[in-house]
Chains A and B, each alone.
Chain A
Amino acid sequence: MSVFVNETTRLVVQGITGRDGSFHARQMLEYGTQIVAGVTPGKGGQLFEERVPVFHTVADAIAATAANTSVIYVPPVLAAGAIAEAADAGIKFIVCITEGIPVLDMARVLPFVRERGARLLGPNCPGLITPGIAKVGIIPGQICSPGRVGLVSRSGTLTYEVVNQLTRNGIGQSTCVGIGGDPLIGTSFIDVLRAFQDDPGTEAIVMLGEIGGTDEQKAAAFVADYVRKPVIGFIAGQTAPKGRRMGHAGAIISGASGTAEEKLHAFTAAGIEVMRRPADVVGLVKQVTSNR
């Protein structure tokens, strides 16, 4: 079992002929993801890797292939438009990898997506992977293994670090989800925590947060209220200075709010086991799963 992507995922890749889109589309095909279509306006009619049909629009792609999930690799200034196009065409799960989308663009497109009953993951995220079944995005497949730990994170390489620790120690994952490091994102920690709680294939949850904003604090309150599975949490940025954007646009401590201490305190109060460093994940997962 898994969340958001599984055997029924029929993927359309928006920006499939671009540099990043083509590279990652090949990686996803190799992993076994069912890519049924690609979209690049102006390149409709081509075949990608001699097997994936390319269309001018997402609507054309859906009509021809019954695609139900989209992943977006288009440049920042066009990305919000690509998200809107996917939602308008009827895609219900949209993953946007693009980094650097202007925040005002996101403020306009997020309500548009919700009104159409679609879910957006990202932007500025590594996507997600259900090990052994489907990978949508850029998470390296070889570091993941199938299992029963659900992982949700704001970052990319930190996720890889932690997943790698799990896999090397024989702990597999149900689904690994990167929600993205931007201030305005489509899917929050809470959305993913709820999905993991409701997924019978997930036994324990690892949540990797970072400084900035209040998403982790709200997620902690949600864990206390709703989540009955053990949760392990980490916050990156304990040594970050105030007022500076630490790479991710969302990773910024403003005034006294969004600090690591505040977030770790919320974790502890909600009964979340706190990782002091990435390597702690292995011991803590073993501990919480043997207690059950």
Chain B
Amino acid sequence: MNLHEYQARALLRAAGVPVPEGDVASTPAEVEAIARRLGSTVVVKAQVHAGGRGKAGGVKLASNPGEAGQVAAKILGMTIKGLVVEKVLVVPAAAIASESYVGLIMDRESQRPVFMVSSAGGVDIEEVAATAPEKIFRLPVDPRYGLMAHQALGLGLRLYTDYAQARAAAGIMQQLYGVFIANGASLAEINPLVTTPEGQVLALDAKISIDDNELDRRPDLAALRDESAEAPSEVAARQAGLTFIKLEGNVGCIVNGAGLAMATMDLVKYYGGEPANFLDIGGSSNPEKVVNALRIITADPSVRAILFNIFGGITRTDDVANGIVAATRQFTVDLPIVIRLTGTNEAEAFRILQGVGMRALSDMDEAVKQAVALAREAA
């Protein structure tokens, strides 16, 4: 789960990281009031989960409170990469002497949190990693001991030759590590970490992603989720206990298991179609999940055919069949459905579907071919 910049800032500030003054607002009047309080030239920054906010016109300077309100009126409500801006962050425009990058990620390879620091800050760090990887210094941290003082100082000295600044950066890195651990983050990033002309070290922008698996035991973090920043269908799916990701195609896919779901999407493409979504109903065989899955898929106007691919192991295929029948009784499904079922209780499942005039297949390739053909006819 990605946090907004203003949420990430609040976590860093609470841990003692120096961040500029500022506040979040959702109306131009609030922005004007914040700008008046700050009493300087301000930056108004769109709060959306998308990179390239600046290029999209979502980050603007304003030299007085009135201008800040006008700028905010333009940014609030604008769409950046399909996401509507509901909130803006207002901060004083800082004078910047240098920009660095500090990031902490959970690294699969070393199986530890890894610091990445670079004096090439303020830019897209993935681009630096691709074009000039030698400019990024990496340090894996043993989570049993945390970031030790000498390690933090070493990282600070990678960024600054000035000892006082290196010490300040070292302190910030230990605080950032504390935030990462305390909040179950999978990524915590300060980009840029700046020095001011007076020599102060400041975190100007922050990005934090929380490990989704933490949210069950951390309701305080789960409450930070901004559902307005997500597609409504994905919110509905999560509430129904399904994993759903919307794609651009027209073959709606309902599958059990993430690996098989991906392989099914790939097979749709292999036979010349385009998948409309990733949808995993999980390992259980609750008919209600199938009803919810069909409701979500049929709400997508671009879907032209629906494909079920169920491999019954723990999932009982008769439960899935009952779910399909229940769904068609609760609401009209005006789209062709191709059902592939195999495994646990498949004979019973086939009988249930036959009872309502539906037919199931047992071969995955055959089912995908049919669904692709039906979607093409209906398109």
A: residues with CB less than 8 A from B are 23, 76-77, 100-104, 106-108, 110-111, 138-140, 143, 153-161, 164, 181, 183-184, 208, 210-211, 213-215, 234, 236-241, 244-251, 255-256, 276-279
User: Shortest beta-carbon distance, B13 to chain A, in Å?
Assistant: 22
Q: B333 an interface residue at 8 Å Cβ cutoff?
A: no
Q: How far is the CA of A194 from the CA of B267 in the complex (A)?
A: 30
Q: In the complex, are the beta carbons of A158 and B213 less than 8 A apart?
A: no
Q: How far is the CA of A153 from the CA of B257 in the complex (A)?
A: 13
Which residue of chain B lies nearest to A276 when distances are taken between CB atoms in the complex? Answer: B270
Contacts of B178 in A (CB 8 A): none
Q: How far is the CA of A25 from the CA of B263 in the complex (A)?
A: 29
Q: How far is the CA of A143 from the CA of B268 in the complex (A)?
A: 25
| Those of B99-146 within 8 Å (CB) of chain A | 106, 108-109, 111-113, 126, 129-130, 142-144
Q: In the complex, are the beta carbons of B108 and A157 less than 8 A apart?
A: no
**B111 touches which of A153, A184, A237, A249 (Cβ 8 Å):** A184
Q: In the complex, are the beta carbons of A160 and B364 less than 8 A apart?
A: no
Q: In the complex, are the beta carbons of B259 and A210 less than 8 A apart?
A: yes
Q: How far is the CA of A101 from the CA of B215 in the complex (A)?
A: 11
Q: In the complex, are the beta carbons of A247 and B266 less than 8 A apart?
A: no
Q: How far is the CA of A245 from the CA of B109 in the complex (A)?
A: 18
Q: What 6 A-B pairs have minimum CB-CB distances, sorted nearest first? A: A155-B259, A247-B258, A157-B257, A158-B259, A236-B262, A157-B260
User: Shortest beta-carbon distance, A141 to chain B, in Å?
Assistant: 10
User: Shortest beta-carbon distance, B14 to chain A, in Å?
Assistant: 19
Q: In the complex, are the beta carbons of A158 and B263 less than 8 A apart?
A: yes
User: Shortest beta-carbon distance, A204 to chain B, in Å?
Assistant: 20
Q: A156-B283, A236-B266, A240-B265 are known contacts. Are A100 and B259 too (CB-CB below 8 A)?
A: no
* A-side interface mostly: loop
User: Shortest beta-carbon distance, A157 to chain B, in Å?
Assistant: 3
Q: In the complex, are the beta carbons of A239 and B313 less than 8 A apart?
A: no
**B311 touches which of A138, A164, A234, A239 (Cβ 8 Å):** A164
Contacts of A247 in B (CB 8 A): 243, 257-258, 261-262, 278, 280
Contacts of B129 in A (CB 8 A): 255
**B313 touches which of A76, A156, A246 (Cβ 8 Å):** A156
Please tell me the number of chain B residues within 8 Å of chain A, measured between CB atoms: 52
Contacts of B265 in A (CB 8 A): 237, 239-240
Contacts of A183 in B (CB 8 A): 106, 108
Q: In the complex, are the beta carbons of A241 and B247 less than 8 A apart?
A: yes
Q: In the complex, are the beta carbons of B113 and A107 less than 8 A apart?
A: yes
Q: How far is the CA of A101 from the CA of B213 in the complex (A)?
A: 6
21 inter-chain pairs at a CB distance below 8 angstroms, sorted by A residue, are A76-B216, A77-B217, A102-B184, A111-B144, A140-B313, A143-B313, A155-B260, A156-B257, A156-B259, A157-B256, A157-B260, A157-B313, A160-B343, A210-B258, A237-B265, A240-B262, A241-B245, A247-B258, A248-B258, A249-B211, A255-B126
**A184 touches which of B106, B257, B263 (Cβ 8 Å):** B106
Q: In the complex, are the beta carbons of A237 and B266 less than 8 A apart?
A: yes
Q: How far is the CA of A73 from the CA of B213 in the complex (A)?
A: 17
A-B contacts besides A107-B106, A157-B257, A213-B108, 15 pairs, CB < 8 Å: A23-B314, A103-B213, A157-B260, A157-B313, A158-B257, A159-B259, A238-B269, A239-B262, A239-B268, A240-B278, A241-B247, A248-B258, A249-B211, A251-B262, A279-B365
Which residue of chain A lies nearest to B129 when distances are taken between CB atoms in the complex? Answer: A255
Contacts of A184 in B (CB 8 A): 106, 108, 111
Contacts of B247 in A (CB 8 A): 239, 241
Q: B252 an interface residue at 8 Å Cβ cutoff?
A: no
